[in-house]
Amino acid sequence: MASLIRYVIRRLLFMIPVFLGVAILTFAVGNAAGNPINLIRAGLRNPNPAVLKALTEYYHLDKPIWQRFLLWLWDLLHGNLGVSISGRPVISQIGPWTFTTLELQILALILAIVIGVPVGVFSSKHQYSKTDYAITTTAIFGYSMPTFWLGIMLIVIFSLDLGWLPSSGAVSVTNLWWGNNILDWIAHLILPTAVLTYVELATFVRLIRANMLEVMRQDYILAARASGLSERTVTYRYALRNAISPVITIIGLGFGAALGGAPALETTFSWPGLGYAFTQAALTLDIPLVEGITIVITIMVLIANLITDLVYAMIDPRVTVQ
């Protein structure tokens, strides 16, 4: 237990320089034109002078750059993310966007794990069978395609052609799908979740299958069988526990990547989450908003990684030893 806590603390300490690194990169890009205001000007023909004034203060443009960075960081850590060029404070908009992104991402992740792990195990136990072949092929296609493209295709088929599902947005304002608010929400979730789940699933299935094949070859599995344990116990308790550790890491990284990849998927579905907002903000060079979203997503990714580190350590205690 003690080594577990120490391990988590170590990982936490690691996250701090990573966060700083991203902060530095973000700040650097924002100031690539000398200061953020110049950059904003490059994107807008007629910026609102009141907003510009507020931002000039926020960015402390009168100070040298390293001070600007530290002050910016300080503000950030206290929740002050400045105002976007629209005049609204960044932090006020991030809340609802975050929720919208997470509801999709977390749902897809859970489904991908719940479906992917059994399928991967099944596939490994029936190696070389037709089913295994079909599963592996489907999986390879899954991670060979751009996620958003699959989304577009499904929209064309299920929404534009068949009209079974909505093509955009997270909820409808008028004309609720399927009757009530809840069902409307679900209707909107189906396509983007299906797409994201499939692509994440593909990676998990392949990974679990490969790891299981490797683990099942090990001596301790043979020894477990020699002790009379049932095949079911051997597979799900003894083998899977060993096979799943690398997958846990991948899940963490994958979640991070999915969060980072949200822009394309959300744009495709006009899903009003952080990714969609990021894309719009970056295109319009709304620097404070872009910086704010990047930092928030980074924090989420780091938390996700910390959670996976913890889960990993609970499953495979070897990692807590240095």
Partner 1 sequence: MTDYQTPSTHDFVNEWAHGLPEKLLEISNLRTYFFTEAGVVKALDGMSLEVNKGQAVGLVGESGSGKSVTAQSVLRIVPRPGRIVDGSIKFEGEDLLSKSDDDMRKLRGPKMAIVFQDPTTSLNPVFTVERQLTDILMLHRDLTKEAASKRALSLLEHVGIQEPEKRLKAYPHELSGGMKQRIAIARALSCEPVLLFADEPTTNLDVTIQAQVLELLKQLQKELNMTMVMITHDMGIIADMTERVTVLYAGKVMEVADTPTLFRSPKHPYTEALLKAVPSVKQTRALEVIPGNIPNLIEPPSGCVFNPRCKYAKDICMKQEPPLEKAEEGHYVACHFWRELKLEGRAG
Partner 2 sequence: MSQSNPKRGASQWAVAWRRFRRNKSGLLGSAIVVFFILVALVGPFVVAYPARSYRSLYEGDAGSPPSFKHPFGVEDSGIDVFSETINAAHNDLYVGLAATLITTLIGVAVGALAGYFKGAVSDVLLGLIQMFFVIPVLLLILLFARVFSVLVFKGLGLTLIVLILAFFGWSSIAFIVRGETFRLKEMEFVQAARSLGAGSYRLLFRHIVPNILSPVIVIATLNIAGFILTEVVVSFLGFGDPNTSTWGLLLNEGFPYVRTSWWVSLFPGLAVVFCVLGFNLMGDGLSDALNPRLRE
Binding mask 215-254 for partner 1 (x = CB under 8 A): --xxxx-xxxxxxxxxx-x---xx--xx--x---------
Contacted entry of partner 2, partner 1, none for residue 269, CB cut-off 5 to 8 Å set by kind: none
Indicate the residue among 229 and 264 with the shorter CB distance to partner 2.
264
**SS3 of 89, please?**
strand
Indicate the residue among 173 and 321 with the shorter CB distance to partner 1.
321
CB under 8 Å to 210, separation ≥6 — which residues? Answer: 124
Q: Where are the alpha helices (DSSP H) in 59-174?
A: 65-77, 90-125, 130-144, 147-154
Contacted entry of partner 2, partner 1, none for residue 35, CB cut-off 5 to 8 Å set by kind: none
Binding mask 183-222 for partner 1 (x = CB under 8 A): ----------------------------------xxxx-x
Contacted entry of partner 1, partner 2, none for residue 280, CB cut-off 5 to 8 Å set by kind: none
CB 232 → partner 2: shortest distance, Å? 26
Q: How far apart are CA 96 and CA 184, in angstroms?
A: 18
Q: How many CB atoms lie within 10 A of CB 191?
A: 24
Q: How far apart are CA 177 and CA 186, in angstroms?
A: 9
Contacted entry of partner 2, partner 1, none for residue 93, CB cut-off 5 to 8 Å set by kind: none
Both tokens of 231, joined, read 């095949």
**Site residues (vs partner 2, CB under 8 A):** 14, 17-18, 21-22, 25-26, 29, 32-33, 39, 42-43, 140-141, 143-146, 148-149, 152-153, 155-156, 160, 214, 253, 256-257, 259-261, 263-264, 267-268, 278-279, 282-283, 285, 290, 293-294, 297-298, 301-302, 305
| Footprint on residues 88-147 left by partner 1 (CB under 8 A) | none
8 A C-beta contact, residue 193 and residue 108: yes
Both tokens of 195, joined, read 């797409």
Contacted entry of partner 2, partner 1, none for residue 222, CB cut-off 5 to 8 Å set by kind: partner 1
How many residues in the chain?
322
Widest Cα–Cα separation across the chain: 78
Burial (CB < 10 A; 0-12, 13-18, 19+), residue 152, is: middle
CB 7 → partner 2: shortest distance, Å? 15
Both tokens of 319, joined, read 């990692």
Residue count at the site for partner 1 (CB under 8 A)? 25
Indicate the residue among 161 and 219 with the shorter CB distance to partner 1.
219
Run of H or E residues at 57:
helix 49-58
Indicate the residue among 207 and 300 with the shorter CB distance to partner 1.
207
